[in-house]
Structure 1
Amino acid sequence: MVEIKTPEQIATMRRAGLVVAAIHEATRAAAVPGATTKDLDEIAAKVIADHGAKPNFLGYGGFPGNICTSVNDVVVHGIPDRKTVLKDGDIIAIDAGAIVDGWHGDAAFTCLVGTGHAPELAELSRVTEESMWAGIAAFRKGNRLEDISKAVEGYIRRQPRPASGRYGIVEDYGGHGIGTEMHMDPHLLNYVTKKRGRGIKLIPGVCLAIEPMVTLGTPRTHVMDDEWTVKSDDGSWSSHWEHTIALTEDGPLVLTAPDGGRAKLAEYGITAAPDPAA
């Protein structure tokens, strides 16, 4: 069952999304050499509390952090701690969420730490982010779920190969429905497979978290002994980008983007839906 939201419910999800955007702004500024991932988690906790929201990651299935902090070859679900100290040249994906009046927001971004990073890391992050926006642009009334998967994969496949030889589109994790829970139907792959068919028809009221995860090598991953941290099988570094988006009668609204996605959607000739928070 796919949860269909009313305009009023989407407006509440927008409030949750703006809390997530505030977490991103604060943690991005703090992701500097010498900071620990626990420092970032504490900053996120303060932002959530200051907005009168609740964390949706903390305690989820036993997860011990307010955010996920995935450094270098950690693809997703990295646990914040005092031991992991960011170094110049690192790459970190910060995945954050918040709950407002029972409705969820969820988004991730990739940050390059310091100035000493390899050029292919900046390109990896760019390719991953732009593939997410290609997927968002395909999130339109009358399309089907697979159209989003096709857009994400197609963008990545069209890019020049990195020095490592390929971009790996992570196979075991993907996007999802979101609303009264953080993870809901439908599951959204970042690539096309004939086994899944074309998926649900996209109609107003559907809300999705679109989140490509891409490595500089293998698409395959494994879970560490902590039962959360997911690493690439070959040790290749990775990038993760995500936004929560609502489909409305007036088009898409990117709930976790400060401007509702207006600027990026305009690059695709798409007008973002009116922002209830404006």
Structure 2
Amino acid sequence: MKVPLDWLAEWIDLPPLDALDERLTVGGLEIDEVIRQGPELTGLIVGSVEARENHPDADRLALCRVDIGAEAPVEIVCGAPNVAAGQKVVVAPHGAVLPDGTKIKRSKIRGVRSNGMICSAKELGLGEDHSGILTLPEDAPVGEAAASVLGGNNWILDIAITPNRGDWLSMLGMAREVRAHFGGELRLPETEPAATGPAAGDALAIHVDDAEGCPRYCGRVVRGVHVRPSPDWMRERLEAAGVRPINNVVDVT
């Protein structure tokens, strides 16, 4: 079973990864592997483009003033056609290392000093699109680690579940196990009773042939269901947990 820690953290507060790994192993969980989910985004931060001007000596380059949460904004030369003032972006400042190992340094580009890079999705290892920079949601916090917004640097525990511990085969079961070792409060999802409608017996008739073998049968009719692909967040979460997404009806069950 694969347990994405960012998903598990929605159910209970987690200790540092090393402590979690050690304590769960001592408690009987066989952790086969600890897997990084997504590219390494260490050193990359959220920036806000305050101004964009044309490069004085290059038609296809722009000179951007970017707030990265430091004492003063930094100037970065950018060649992406979609860069504009007001955008939240991922900035690789001087000294940062991209997921492919490229180290970012201050440099002069056509005579203008550039103090970093505004990154595209491809440069971040998040896709093949390099036609423009990757823009972030408007509420992305300036100066924070880009991984906190993009979901990088998350970890997955690949656990071998023994037959006698079926209670571990769910996020709730894993959250309870964490609570048993470290304490804390479970954050259970809120549930509401489903709206009532016509009796199920109005839609179909059920006849029980063996009342002793099946003393009670319960069913519910669900109407208005449209089978379609699940939303991206659900597909990504299931894939991280090692489950192949099928469609919205299958995935929610």
- The verdict on a shared fold, with TM-score over 0.5 as the criterion, is no
Higher relative contact order (CA 8 A, sep 6+): 2
What is the TM-score with the length of structure 1 in the denominator?
Answer: 0.21
TM-score relative to the length of structure 2: 0.22
Structure possessing the higher radius of gyration over alpha carbons:
2
